Structure 1
Amino acid sequence: MDMSFDLNRLTRENIKKLVPYSSARDEFKGEASVLLDANENAFGSPLPNDFNRYPDPLQLKVKKKLTEIKGIPAENIFLGNGSDEAIDILYRAFCKPGVDNVILVPPTYGMYEVSANINDVEIRKVNLTANFQLDLDKIADQIDGNTKLIFICSPNNPTGNSINRQDIETILTNFDGIVVIDEAYINFSRQKSFTQELAEFQNLVILQTLSKAWGLAALRLGMAFSSKEIIAIFNKIKPPYNINQATQNLVLEALEKVDQVNNWIRETVNEREWLVKELAEIEQIEHVFDSDANFILVRMQSPRAVYDALVAKGIIVRDRSKVELCEGCLRITVGKTEENQQVVSEIKEFYNL
């Protein structure tokens, strides 16, 4: 375990002193038949299900189910309104506005930068190498006494590849700030999750989501896994009832269907391989990048014109052709068989094939 890591040093003074809001459900534990503590509507709600009571502020039933699935204790799990809430809390907990800085490794997920700007935190960018891997020497050059967070998305968005595991471990071992590994697409990857390394690295925070493989994007439930001390800070900062009862109920129902999700993952990976093969055979496609995600990055001739032609046919992909290191590229999500066939057909038609 890296003994140079000092969570107390990293945590902002105002957060150390913060007395979190104490909700009615925080103050009472156990069962009760008469609830007159939270100024709720005692008559119920005008819906088939009663939503008149405030939800569990710590979502313990959901966390218990996640523990069964992932083997991670509840005290090491934070649930947020999407992963975006966890990203924002990381800035608010550990980065002093106008003083501290974070390291981002573009091209990467855009919310890291947006959240840094909202929180007035300096961004230091170290581009990935030409093969979309970490440049360890340049990252080391950018780290100073005020560097609090390093964000690494693996599998990476928008490139789709996994980041070299040994490189990530090098940063975890040698950086005395917090390393955030965003594993939104880990279910589609050949690489194992870093959740297995939580006991080894005190400075590790892992982000995952139910929006991708689990198909629950509309419910907005993100997860952060870390030491119980870091998770306690997350829970101190979050709003008292950040995950509503409807979401908790539906997520619990979905988490009973692991086999269904695993089948979808296998189908998605198979469709991804088909899509890669078909696109690689088109002469005007310059490169199809390896992917461990549920999307592929494709470098092609006239990417913007292809994008516009697809939009005209009602097919929406993501134009990444202006993103550094992704010049000339479209990002295409892996769809169902007929959707993938349609997008390939329309691209061939554009190139008059």
Structure 2
Amino acid sequence: MKYEIEKRLLDMIPYKPIEGEFKVRLDANESFFSIPDNILKEFESSLKDIDFNRYPDPYSKEVCYRFARSKDIDVDSVIAGNGSDELINLIIQVFLKDGDKVLTLAPDFSMYRFYSDLRRAEVISVNNPYDEPIDVYALIQAIEESKPKIVIFSNPCNPTGQVISRDNIIKLLQKCPNILFVVDEAYMDFSDQSILNIAKDFSNVIVLRTMSKAFAAASIRLGFAVSNRELISTMKKVKAPYNINSVTQKFGSILLSHSEENKQRIEKIIRMRDNLYAGLQRYTDEIKVFPSGGNFIYVSTIRAKEIYDKLLSDGIAIRYFNNNTLRISAGNEEEQSALFSSLDNIFKNRGEK
């Protein structure tokens, strides 16, 4: 006799990021900026103020205040998480029961399904044709037919870059008032359709944000959820104690206090995304390129796996999906130049194996 792990757990497929060293990383939608020296010096100076022998602030009050202030929202409507992933998992674990239904889009961020499967929820995937705008009326119909407990999607959509307008998000919330919507705005710093400032006015929505993309701070694992006080209070009751370490809280607070520098970096990332989109247009006889509201561009081509493998051999990592699509993160000038140079060679030698 021995302890047996459930078969459903053994069969689960983990999230698998690309590992290894590459001269150009355009696979994970990270910022191509490093943290500026003046902010690093400010952070280094602040380390002496951290009581490393004590547990961190259990409610991350300072960094939540800084985030709320930077977004001009009520701090009581904010909770911090160890990356958005912790918050996604927390929401699914807390607001679902075994067998409840979760509705997601396909394609979308794979961890929505992963955490739902872990919770023993029934996952309903609504096909999202990535070559046209997301059909909100079709989404409402799917919700009315399937009656999920939670609807969760990213906006802008990862990986397609599609953006649902603020007005259409409001329409969803109003049309389905008894459904909890989780709107993951991880990439909304690169777009302009956020509902962050009105999330507290609805009983049925939680909005997620992250420091990993626009703020060049993926390594510190810091995210936020914004909602009405009742939902946030419930999440605070059941979250893990001391879930955000003191170093992350301090660094996040400092980073959020530099709003003008953050704004300038975001503007540069948007310009480089648009340059990437324009540059990829030269290959439209081989690939289809989709406009994006994120910090990445989505591409479809029957040669997706070949292109992915050849770029890897050139030391350039992008993201490959099994449906003959690729997602390419915006890089700096040098990185995108290297990408285009490799793509020129790939398409010039299209007949070679």
Alpha-carbon separation, structure 2, partners of 1:285 and 1:247: 44
Residue 290 of structure 1 aligns with an amino acid whose one-letter code is P
Q: Equivalents in 2 of 1:172, 1:114: separation in Å?
A: 24
The residue type equivalent to 1:351 in the other structure is F
Alpha-carbon distance in structure 1 between the residues aligned to 2:53 and 2:266: 37
Contact 2:200 2:229 (8 Å CA) reproduced: no
Query: Are the equivalent residues in 2 in contact too, given 1:79–1:224 (CA < 8 A)?
Result: yes
On the 8 A contact 2:164/2:193 being kept in 1, the answer is no
In structure 2, give the amino acid aligned to 1:336: N
How big is the shift at 1:308? 0.5
Q: Residue 231 of structure 1 aligns with which residue? A: 232
Q: Give the structure 2 partner of residue 249 of structure 1.
A: 250
Match of 1:178 in 2: 180
SS in 1 for 2:270: helix
Residue 316 of structure 2 is matched in structure 1 by 315
Alpha-carbon distance in structure 1 between the residues aligned to 2:138 and 2:274:
34
1:26 match:
none
1:199 offset after TM fit, Å? Answer: 4.1
What is the identity percentage for the equivalent residue pairs of Structure 1 and Structure 2? 33
Task: Tell me the C-alpha RMSD between the 2 structures.
Answer: 1.9
Tell me if structure 2 keeps the 8 A contact 1:76–1:228.
yes
Query: Which residue of structure 1 lines up, in the alignment, with residue 107 of structure 2?
Result: 107
Per mean C-alpha deviation after superposition, the further-off stretch among 199-208 and 211-220 is 199-208
* TM-score, normalised via structure 1 length: 0.80
One-letter amino acid matched to 2:168: D
Unmatched segments (≥5 aa) in structure 2: 1-46
Report the CA distance between 1:340 and its aligned residue.
0.7
Partner of 2:9: none
In the superposition, relative to structure 1, how do residues 302 and 146 fare at CA in structure 2: closer, same or farther (>3 Å)?
closer
Q: Where does residue 198 of structure 2 map in the other structure?
A: 197
> Is 1:125 matched with 2:118?
no
- Give the structure 2 partner of residue 93 of structure 1: 94
Letter in 2 for 1:227: N
Alpha-carbon distance in 2 for matches of 1:223, 1:185: 13
Q: CA deviation at 1:166?
A: 3.3
Q: Return the match for 1:350 from 338, 341, 346.
A: 346
Q: Which of 332, 344, 351 is the equivalent residue of 2:328?
A: 332
In 2, the alpha carbon distance for the partners of 1:275 and 1:110 equals 25
CA shift, 1:221, in A, is: 0.6
Larger helix proportion, structure 1 or 2? 2
1:198 deviates by 2.0
Q: Tell me by how many angstroms 1:307 deviates.
A: 0.5
2:285 and 2:126 map into 1 onto residues whose CA distance is: 31
- Aligned residue identity for 1:210: M
Superposed CA deviations along residues 62-92 of structure 1, whole A, max 9, x for unmatched, are: 1121222111112100100111111111112
Quick check: 2:165–2:193 contact (8 Å CA) kept in 1? no
Aligned counterparts of 1:284 and 1:349: Cα–Cα separation in 2: 15
Contact 1:285 1:299 in 2 (8 A): no
Partner secondary structure for residue 125 of structure 1: strand
Once residues 338 and 138 of structure 1 are traced to their aligned partners in structure 2, the CA distance between those partners, rounded to angstroms, is 41
Cα distance in 2 for partners of 1:126, 1:85 equals 24
Q: Which residue of 1 aligns with 2:83?
A: 82
Greater relative CO, 1 or 2 (CA 8 Å, sep 6+): 2
Between structure 1 and structure 2, the one with the greater Rg is 1
